[in-house]
Amino acid sequence: MPASAFADLSLAENHGCTQCHRFTQEASEEPPKGPDLFYAGNKFQKNWLENFLQNPVVVRKAGYTSDPGFLKGTPTVAQPHPSLPEKEAREMTDFLMSLKLSDLPASPVEGEPLTKGEKVRIKILFERNFGCIACHEGVNLAGQPRGGISGPSLANAGNRLTADWVFHWLKTPEKFLPKSRMPLYDLDDETAVKLTQYLMTLKIGRQN
C-alpha cells in the first residue's frame, strides 16, 4: 500500500467506519458488522458511492449476512446507514475508490449491449433457471423491486456496481468472500458475461 493510503485509513478510523467494515484483506477476530470494503474501488460506481455516503439507502433489508439478526430479518445494526456531509463524503469516496485488489484480471465484459431477445432469455435465467430472485430483488414489469432479501438488492445494480466486478463475483466469489451464502453456479464465461450485462440493465429509483 502506498504511504498515502495509511493516512486515508485513519480517515475511515476517525469516522468510525472501521468498527463495522474491513478495509484490508486481513481477517478480523469477529465477523464484521458490515460488508467488506477492501475492494470497494473494484465494486462500486463512484457516483453511487458519493451519493450513498450522503443519503444512504438500504441495500440489504435483512441486514448484513453476519449480523446476529440476519436470519430473523431484524438487523441489530441500525438502518439506514450513518451519513457524511458532502465534503467528507467526497474525501471518503476518493479513498474507497482507491481500494482495489491488485490481482484481478481484466473481465471479458464489453460494451456491446444485450439484444432484446437476449435480455428476455437472461431474465428467464435470472428469475427461473438460476432462481437468483429467491434471494435478490430484481425489477418487475411495473418497475418495482421484486424478490428475496437475503442477498443484497440488485434492483439498482446498474447504477451501483461495476460490470467488471459483477463478472468477477459471479465467476470467483471466493476472491472477495471466503464463504458466501450464495450458491456457486459454475457459469461459463459467456453466460457470466450475459448475466452481468443483464444485471447492469437493472436500475431503479434515483439515477446514482
Partner 1 sequence: MFVKKSRKFQIILLLLMTLIACGDNAKETAKVKPPTAAPEKTAPAAVVAQPEQNPVPQKTRDVYQWYCTQCHGLKGKGDGINAKHLTVPPRDHTKGEYLETRTDKQLFDAIKLGGLAVGRAPCMPSWGNTLKDETIHSLVRYIRELCECEAL
**Distance in angstroms (rounded) separating the CA atoms of residues 63 and 163:** 24
Could you tell me the three cell numbers for 43? 465494486
Question: Cα 44 to the chain's mean position, in Å?
Answer: 7
Would you state the cell numbers that stand for residue 96, as one nine-digit string? 474507497
Burial class (CB in 10 A: 0-12, 13-18, 19+), 25: exposed
Nearer to ligand HEC, 38 or 169 (CB): 169
Cβ-based nearer residue to partner 1, 5 or 120: 120
Taking each helix axis from N to C end, the angle separating 3-14 and 86-97, rounded to the nearest 10 degrees, works out to 140
Binding mask 75-114 toward ligand HEC (x if CB under 6 A, else -) reads: --x---xx-x-------x----------------------
Does residue 132 interact with ligand HEC by CB under 6 A? yes
Which of partner 1, ligand HEC, none does residue 59 bind (CB under 5 to 8 Å by kind)?
ligand HEC
Comparing CB distances to partner 1, the nearer of 114 and 135 is 135
Residues forming the site for partner 1 (CB under 8 A) = 62, 70-73, 127-135, 137, 146-150, 179, 181, 183-186
